[in-house]
Chain A
Amino acid sequence: SYVLTQPPSVSVAPGQTARITCGGNNIGSKSVHWYQQKPGQAPVLVVYDDSDRPSGIPERFSGSNSGNTATLTISRVEAGDEADYYCQVWDSSSDYVFGTGTKVTVL
Protein backbone atom coordinates (compact mmCIF):
# COMPACT_ATOMS: atom_id res chain seq x y z
CA SER A 1 0.00 0.00 0.00
CA TYR A 2 1.06 3.57 -0.62
CA VAL A 3 2.26 5.53 2.42
CA LEU A 4 2.48 9.29 2.93
CA THR A 5 4.72 10.52 5.74
CA GLN A 6 4.47 13.94 7.36
CA PRO A 7 6.35 15.46 10.31
CA PRO A 8 4.17 15.30 13.44
CA SER A 9 4.61 18.96 14.22
CA VAL A 10 5.90 22.25 12.88
CA SER A 11 6.29 25.41 14.94
CA VAL A 12 6.51 28.87 13.44
CA ALA A 13 6.46 32.47 14.65
CA PRO A 14 3.79 34.84 13.36
CA GLY A 15 4.80 36.47 10.10
CA GLN A 16 7.28 33.74 9.27
CA THR A 17 7.00 30.89 6.74
CA ALA A 18 5.86 27.37 7.58
CA ARG A 19 6.78 24.46 5.33
CA ILE A 20 5.04 21.13 5.75
CA THR A 21 6.44 18.15 3.88
CA CYS A 22 4.68 15.04 2.62
CA GLY A 23 6.92 12.17 1.63
CA GLY A 24 5.92 9.30 -0.62
CA ASN A 25 7.53 7.02 -3.19
CA ASN A 26 7.74 9.01 -6.44
CA ILE A 27 5.02 11.33 -5.17
CA GLY A 28 6.08 13.81 -7.87
CA SER A 29 4.23 11.62 -10.37
CA LYS A 30 0.97 12.01 -8.46
CA SER A 31 -1.45 14.85 -7.86
CA VAL A 32 -1.22 16.04 -4.25
CA HIS A 33 -3.91 17.81 -2.25
CA TRP A 34 -3.78 19.50 1.14
CA TYR A 35 -6.39 19.97 3.87
CA GLN A 36 -6.49 22.18 6.94
CA GLN A 37 -8.40 20.92 9.98
CA LYS A 38 -9.03 23.01 13.06
CA PRO A 39 -10.12 21.37 16.34
CA GLY A 40 -13.70 20.14 16.24
CA GLN A 41 -14.16 21.09 12.58
CA ALA A 42 -14.27 19.27 9.27
CA PRO A 43 -11.24 19.41 6.99
CA VAL A 44 -11.02 22.25 4.49
CA LEU A 45 -9.28 21.93 1.12
CA VAL A 46 -6.49 24.53 0.89
CA VAL A 47 -4.47 23.28 -2.10
CA TYR A 48 -5.38 20.84 -4.85
CA ASP A 49 -3.51 19.34 -7.79
CA ASP A 50 -0.13 20.16 -6.25
CA SER A 51 -0.38 23.95 -6.33
CA ASP A 52 -3.88 25.23 -7.14
CA ARG A 53 -5.95 27.07 -4.54
CA PRO A 54 -9.73 26.80 -4.20
CA SER A 55 -11.70 30.00 -4.26
CA GLY A 56 -11.44 31.82 -0.94
CA ILE A 57 -8.10 30.37 0.13
CA PRO A 58 -5.47 33.09 0.68
CA GLU A 59 -2.49 33.32 -1.64
CA ARG A 60 -0.33 32.74 1.44
CA PHE A 61 -1.02 29.02 0.93
CA SER A 62 1.02 27.44 -1.84
CA GLY A 63 2.14 23.97 -2.83
CA SER A 64 4.87 22.21 -4.75
CA ASN A 65 5.62 18.61 -5.63
CA SER A 66 8.71 16.92 -7.00
CA GLY A 67 10.59 13.68 -6.61
CA ASN A 68 9.65 12.00 -3.35
CA THR A 69 8.41 15.09 -1.51
CA ALA A 70 5.45 17.43 -1.76
CA THR A 71 5.44 20.64 0.27
CA LEU A 72 2.74 22.95 1.56
CA THR A 73 4.07 26.44 2.26
CA ILE A 74 2.25 28.95 4.42
CA SER A 75 3.72 32.43 4.06
CA ARG A 76 3.26 35.25 6.58
CA VAL A 77 1.79 32.85 9.11
CA GLU A 78 -1.10 34.09 11.23
CA ALA A 79 -2.50 32.81 14.50
CA GLY A 80 -5.55 31.55 12.60
CA ASP A 81 -3.37 29.15 10.61
CA GLU A 82 -2.83 27.00 13.68
CA ALA A 83 -4.34 23.65 12.74
CA ASP A 84 -3.63 20.11 11.60
CA TYR A 85 -2.68 19.73 7.95
CA TYR A 86 -3.05 16.57 5.88
CA CYS A 87 -1.75 15.73 2.42
CA GLN A 88 -3.67 13.32 0.21
CA VAL A 89 -3.18 11.47 -3.07
CA TRP A 90 -5.03 8.89 -5.07
CA ASP A 91 -3.13 5.69 -5.77
CA SER A 92 -4.28 2.92 -8.09
CA SER A 93 -3.54 0.19 -5.55
CA SER A 94 -4.52 2.03 -2.36
CA ASP A 95 -7.32 4.34 -3.52
CA TYR A 96 -7.45 7.57 -1.49
CA VAL A 97 -4.49 7.92 0.85
CA PHE A 98 -4.00 10.58 3.52
CA GLY A 99 -0.76 11.59 5.12
CA THR A 100 -0.14 11.12 8.82
CA GLY A 101 -0.90 14.76 9.55
CA THR A 102 1.12 17.71 10.83
CA LYS A 103 0.17 19.96 13.71
CA VAL A 104 1.17 23.55 13.02
CA THR A 105 1.73 25.63 16.12
CA VAL A 106 2.01 29.39 15.90
CA LEU A 107 4.37 30.56 18.62
Chain B
Amino acid sequence: QVQLVQSGAEVKKPGSSVKVSCKASGGTFSSYTISWVRQAPGQGLEWMGRIIPILGIANYAQKFQGRVTITADKSTSTAYMELSSLRSEDTAVYYCARTIAVAGVDYFDYWGQGTLVTVSS
Protein backbone atom coordinates (compact mmCIF):
# COMPACT_ATOMS: atom_id res chain seq x y z
CA GLN B 1 0.00 0.00 0.00
CA VAL B 2 1.45 3.32 -1.09
CA GLN B 3 1.47 6.12 1.49
CA LEU B 4 2.44 9.72 0.88
CA VAL B 5 3.10 11.84 3.98
CA GLN B 6 3.58 15.57 3.57
CA SER B 7 5.26 18.19 5.72
CA GLY B 8 3.30 20.50 7.98
CA ALA B 9 1.51 23.78 7.45
CA GLU B 10 3.51 26.88 6.57
CA VAL B 11 2.93 30.62 6.92
CA LYS B 12 4.99 32.75 4.55
CA LYS B 13 5.44 36.41 3.72
CA PRO B 14 4.72 37.71 0.22
CA GLY B 15 7.79 37.48 -1.97
CA SER B 16 9.32 34.58 -0.06
CA SER B 17 9.56 30.90 -0.99
CA VAL B 18 8.13 27.71 0.44
CA LYS B 19 9.34 24.13 0.13
CA VAL B 20 6.93 21.28 0.82
CA SER B 21 8.02 17.67 1.16
CA CYS B 22 6.24 14.41 0.35
CA LYS B 23 7.69 11.19 1.76
CA ALA B 24 6.62 7.97 0.08
CA SER B 25 6.42 4.47 1.47
CA GLY B 26 5.26 1.24 -0.17
CA GLY B 27 6.10 0.37 -3.75
CA THR B 28 9.25 1.49 -5.54
CA PHE B 29 9.69 5.24 -5.27
CA SER B 30 12.09 5.52 -8.17
CA SER B 31 9.54 4.07 -10.55
CA TYR B 32 6.79 6.49 -9.50
CA THR B 33 5.77 9.71 -11.10
CA ILE B 34 4.87 12.26 -8.43
CA SER B 35 2.69 15.25 -9.22
CA TRP B 36 1.82 18.33 -7.20
CA VAL B 37 -1.75 19.63 -7.22
CA ARG B 38 -3.02 22.65 -5.34
CA GLN B 39 -6.43 23.80 -4.15
CA ALA B 40 -7.12 27.38 -3.15
CA PRO B 41 -9.76 27.90 -0.42
CA GLY B 42 -13.19 26.98 -1.76
CA GLN B 43 -11.78 26.37 -5.23
CA GLY B 44 -11.04 23.42 -7.49
CA LEU B 45 -7.95 21.33 -8.16
CA GLU B 46 -5.02 22.66 -10.19
CA TRP B 47 -2.06 20.61 -11.46
CA MET B 48 1.32 22.28 -10.98
CA GLY B 49 3.89 19.83 -12.24
CA ARG B 50 5.41 16.40 -11.88
CA ILE B 51 8.67 14.53 -11.55
CA ILE B 52 9.88 11.08 -12.54
CA PRO B 53 12.47 10.31 -9.85
CA ILE B 54 14.20 7.53 -11.76
CA LEU B 55 14.94 9.98 -14.57
CA GLY B 56 15.21 13.11 -12.48
CA ILE B 57 13.05 14.86 -15.06
CA ALA B 58 10.41 17.37 -14.04
CA ASN B 59 7.88 19.24 -16.12
CA TYR B 60 5.60 22.06 -15.08
CA ALA B 61 2.28 23.61 -15.91
CA GLN B 62 2.79 26.70 -18.01
CA LYS B 63 1.17 28.86 -15.33
CA PHE B 64 3.91 28.01 -12.84
CA GLN B 65 6.93 27.89 -15.16
CA GLY B 66 9.83 29.80 -13.64
CA ARG B 67 8.27 29.89 -10.17
CA VAL B 68 8.03 26.23 -9.21
CA THR B 69 10.76 23.63 -8.82
CA ILE B 70 10.00 19.96 -8.20
CA THR B 71 12.80 17.66 -7.09
CA ALA B 72 13.16 14.18 -5.66
CA ASP B 73 15.63 12.43 -3.37
CA LYS B 74 15.65 8.74 -4.19
CA SER B 75 17.72 7.92 -1.10
CA THR B 76 14.90 9.09 1.19
CA SER B 77 11.95 8.43 -1.13
CA THR B 78 10.95 12.06 -0.80
CA ALA B 79 9.69 14.52 -3.37
CA TYR B 80 9.79 18.29 -2.91
CA MET B 81 7.91 21.21 -4.35
CA GLU B 82 9.36 24.69 -4.00
CA LEU B 83 7.30 27.72 -4.99
CA SER B 84 8.97 31.12 -5.08
CA SER B 85 7.85 34.76 -5.26
CA LEU B 86 4.82 33.92 -3.18
CA ARG B 87 1.74 36.11 -3.33
CA SER B 88 -1.55 36.00 -1.48
CA GLU B 89 -3.16 34.07 -4.34
CA ASP B 90 -0.80 31.18 -3.60
CA THR B 91 -2.59 30.53 -0.33
CA ALA B 92 -3.82 26.99 -0.84
CA VAL B 93 -3.58 23.37 0.20
CA TYR B 94 -0.82 21.66 -1.74
CA TYR B 95 -1.08 17.94 -2.43
CA CYS B 96 1.39 15.45 -3.77
CA ALA B 97 -0.05 12.51 -5.68
CA ARG B 98 1.31 9.41 -7.29
CA THR B 99 0.68 9.69 -10.98
CA ILE B 100 -0.11 6.80 -13.28
CA ALA B 101 0.79 7.59 -16.89
CA VAL B 102 0.41 4.66 -19.25
CA ALA B 103 -0.49 4.91 -22.92
CA GLY B 104 -2.64 8.03 -22.58
CA VAL B 105 -4.27 6.94 -19.33
CA ASP B 106 -2.98 9.50 -16.83
CA TYR B 107 -4.44 9.84 -13.35
CA PHE B 108 -3.62 10.16 -9.64
CA ASP B 109 -4.15 7.03 -7.58
CA TYR B 110 -2.65 7.92 -4.18
CA TRP B 111 -2.61 11.35 -2.54
CA GLY B 112 -0.79 12.92 0.36
CA GLN B 113 -2.80 14.45 3.18
CA GLY B 114 -2.17 17.99 1.95
CA THR B 115 -0.13 20.91 3.26
CA LEU B 116 -1.72 24.29 3.91
CA VAL B 117 0.45 27.18 2.79
CA THR B 118 -0.75 30.60 3.90
CA VAL B 119 0.79 33.69 2.35
CA SER B 120 0.19 36.75 4.47
CA SER B 121 2.03 39.88 5.47
Q: Residue on A with the closest CB to B59?
A: A95
Contacting residues, chain A, for B104 (C-beta < 8 A):
30-31, 90
Complex Cα–Cα for A96 and B64 (A): 13
Instruction: Judge whether B107 and A48 touch: CB under 8 Å.
Output: yes
Please pick, from B47, B113, B114, the residue contacting A98 in the complex, using a CB distance under 8 A: B47
Q: A31-B105, A90-B106, A96-B106 are in contact. Are A42 and B44 (CB under 8 A)?
A: no
Contacting residues, chain A, for B105 (C-beta < 8 A):
31, 48-49
Instruction: Judge whether B61 and A98 touch: CB under 8 Å.
Output: no
Instruction: Judge whether A42 and B61 touch: CB under 8 Å.
Output: no
Asked whether B73 is an interface residue with its Cβ less than 8 Å from the other chain, the reply is no
Contacting residues, chain A, for B114 (C-beta < 8 A):
42
Secondary structure type dominating chain B contacts: strand
Report A51-66 CB contacts with B as 1/0, cut-off 8 Å.
0001000000000000
Summed over the interface, the residue pairs from A and B with CB atoms below 8 Å come to a total of 56
Secondary structure type dominating chain A contacts: strand
Contacting residues, chain B, for A45 (C-beta < 8 A):
107-109
Interchain nearest-CB distance for B48 vs A (Å): 9
Instruction: Judge whether B44 and A98 touch: CB under 8 Å.
Output: yes
Interchain nearest-CB distance for A70 vs B (Å): 13
Contacting residues, chain A, for B47 (C-beta < 8 A):
95-98
Q: Residue on A with the closest CB to B108?
A: A45
Asked whether A23 is an interface residue with its Cβ less than 8 Å from the other chain, the reply is no
Asked whether A88 is an interface residue with its Cβ less than 8 Å from the other chain, the reply is yes
A residues with a Cβ closer than 8 A to B are: 30-31, 33, 35, 42-45, 48-49, 54, 86, 88, 90, 95-101
